[in-house]
Structure 1
Amino acid sequence: MPTDFDWLALEVKYLDQAAAFYEELLDLSVVDRRSNVLRFATGPSALVLRRPTGIPRGGIHTHFACSIPASEYDEWWDRLAASLDVAEERFGDAKSLYCYDPDGNCVELGQRDVSGPGIDGIFEVALEVSSLARSESLYADLGFETVDRGTGRRRVRMDGPVALELWEPHLGIADARGGVHVALGFTADEPAALAEAVAARSCSTAETDDGCVIVDPDGHHLTLRRSA
């Protein structure tokens, strides 16, 4: 199983416009800036924005969830609601707010047990899949564990270094959609062994200098970097 979640990559049309949203509204810090790529720190993981200039491109209309301290929730609501359409959902005692970035990605800020201040990690990513059974089996072999199923079998939630929501095409909370050709980065003790476990059911697997890349049957890219 992957040991840690490294990064999530999104596709954006205009880096300056996307950067303004994530820097000015969400208070994320740029840790790497290149001509076609921006990388933001989000606590223990990173958010990568890519213009569509190569493969893997990064996900489009991706729903993902970021952790915020519970005590900051009202402050974030007031801040984002001042300029965006914001929705709210409750999960037991915890609340989440939902908004959209300039490229149509649904960003969730959820109350979690984190130190902060501000966004302190990405805890969930939704992937659009064509077959729940096939995708659930593949990610189970990578070490993810099924913890919840939606009614009508439209979705499956699997826990791991980041929670993966596997969605058949539909609109979720706040009309969010699962991401298409999402790119995710992980660390793993034995990347090659994980790639071998799912090679027969993947679109492709390829070795890299420090690990491997797995492309699942729906075109999602999983980059596995060997743990230090």
Structure 2
Amino acid sequence: MSTSPILDLAGITLEVNHLPRGVRFYTQVLGLDLEALDEVRQTARFRVNLAQTLTLWKPVTRQASAPRLAPLHARGASHLHYAWQIEPDDLERCKSLLDEHGLEWTEIDLGTPERPDPTVYFFDPFGHGLELRGVNRADERQPALPPVPRPCPPHALPVMGLREAAIAFSDYPAMLARLPRAYGFALAKEQPDRDFAQFTLGPEPEHDGNGTPRRWLYAWDPQVGLADMFGGDHALLQFYADVPAVLARVRAEGLPHVETGEQLAVRDPEGHVFEFLPLPK
């Protein structure tokens, strides 16, 4: 088995139709620090932790979210399902905080009777589906950049990091072959009852067991999924990776891409744009 060049999840971009409302939601409810606001390009970038970012983008006609991505016609996801990592003991407090913010939520146990794994789902103001998933920071299945608790305002959800993103593919069999071949994503498993694949964002495929601090990419057919959450279309996702190794695969595949310094951005045939960054030094 070859080692995957994909190392971790670095960031995601969400499309919004009202940037100030998005800034208020993600600062007040999630407690994220606003790192950069570009009112011309209508983007806002938040610092999730030392290694991960969340970007909001209000699409503007004939204007790219970032100049370096203009040749790839990159967008942000218009309805992305993604997950946050929290301490398991914080789940009850998170439900109370969601109530205080007037947000409806759904709890689903993704574990087993022997080992429960309660998970909470809710939506932001733009229809993006958010998930709160408890992680055992002592688990040996660590990502390249492990989650660490951060200072958080008392009114905000105590999130530690981004856990996963779920994106849709209309041609599932082609995706299943292409993601490992063209980029090096490590296929962990498929679900037996639907077109749903889980890729470990790390050097080796691992089971997505409850409590793992690992990060994940989920790829599925476009349909309503768990807790009525769609997988994202035309997503813009960032990953930490061995960039030269990914570049060799992308060139062999003949995919459109741009290189900016040590970073690589690639347009997938389904319209998603993936950015690959070296690990922070």
The residue aligned with 1:134 is 174
Could you tell me which of 32, 38, 43 is aligned with 2:44?
Answer: 38
Q: For 2:171 and 2:74, locate their aligned partners in 1 and report how far apart those are by CA, in whole Å.
A: 22
When structure 1 is superposed on structure 2, of 155-164 and 135-144 the one drifting more is: 135-144
The residue aligned with 1:116 is 149
Instruction: Show CA shifts across 1:103-125 (max 9, x none).
Output: 11001011112442511111110
Q: For 1:205 and 1:199, locate their aligned partners in 2 and report how far apart those are by CA, in whole Å.
A: 9
Q: Using a 3 Å threshold, how does the CA distance of structure 1 residues 203 and 178 change in structure 2: closer, same or farther? A: farther
Q: Does 1:78 align with 2:96?
A: yes
Q: For 1:88 and 1:223, locate their aligned partners in 2 and report how far apart those are by CA, in whole Å.
A: 32
Q: For 2:89 and 2:253, locate their aligned partners in 1 and report how far apart those are by CA, in whole Å.
A: 44
What is the letter of the counterpart of residue 121 of structure 2? Y
The residue aligned with 2:229 is 176
CA positional deviation for 1:18: 0.9
Q: For 1:40 and 1:89, locate their aligned partners in 2 and report how far apart those are by CA, in whole Å.
A: 28
Query: Aligned to 2:89, what secondary structure does the other structure show?
Result: helix
Q: How does 1:56-205 map to 2 (within 5 A)?
A: 56-82=74-100, 83-92=102-111, 93-114=116-137, 115-117=148-150, 118-141=158-181, 142-161=183-202, 162-189=215-242, 191-199=243-251, 201=253, 203-205=255-257
Q: For 2:161 and 2:133, locate their aligned partners in 1 and report how far apart those are by CA, in whole Å.
A: 10
Q: Which runs of 5+ in 1 are unaligned?
A: none
Query: Aligned to 1:153, what secondary structure does the other structure show?
Result: coil
Could you tell me which of 50, 62, 85 is aligned with 2:57?
Answer: 50
Q: Larger % of strand: which?
A: 1
Instruction: Show CA shifts across 1:58-108 (max 9, x none).
Output: 111100000011111001011113411101111222221111111110010
Q: For 2:160 and 2:88, locate their aligned partners in 1 and report how far apart those are by CA, in whole Å.
A: 11
Q: Does 1:26 align with 2:67?
A: no
CA positional deviation for 1:224: 1.4
Query: Is contact 1:132-1:156 (8 Å) kept?
Result: no
Query: Is contact 1:6-1:186 (8 Å) kept?
Result: yes
When structure 1 is superposed on structure 2, of 153-162 and 92-101 the one drifting more is: 153-162
What is the letter of the counterpart of residue 27 of structure 1? G
CA positional deviation for 1:200: 5.6
Q: For 1:183 and 1:17, locate their aligned partners in 2 and report how far apart those are by CA, in whole Å.
A: 21
The residue aligned with 2:68 is none
Query: Is contact 1:94-1:112 (8 Å) kept?
Result: no
Query: Is contact 2:9-2:216 (8 Å) kept?
Result: no
Q: Using a 3 Å threshold, how does the CA distance of structure 1 residues 65 and 73 change in structure 2: closer, same or farther? A: same
CA positional deviation for 1:199: 4.1
Alignment length, in residue pairs?
227
What is the letter of the counterpart of residue 75 of structure 1? R
Q: For 1:182 and 1:202, locate their aligned partners in 2 and report how far apart those are by CA, in whole Å.
A: 20
Q: For 2:26 and 2:278, locate their aligned partners in 1 and report how far apart those are by CA, in whole Å.
A: 29
Q: Using a 3 Å threshold, how does the CA distance of structure 1 residues 84 and 202 change in structure 2: closer, same or farther? A: farther
Larger radius of gyration: 2
What is the letter of the counterpart of residue 56 of structure 1? A
CA RMSD of aligned residues (A): 1.9
The residue aligned with 2:208 is none
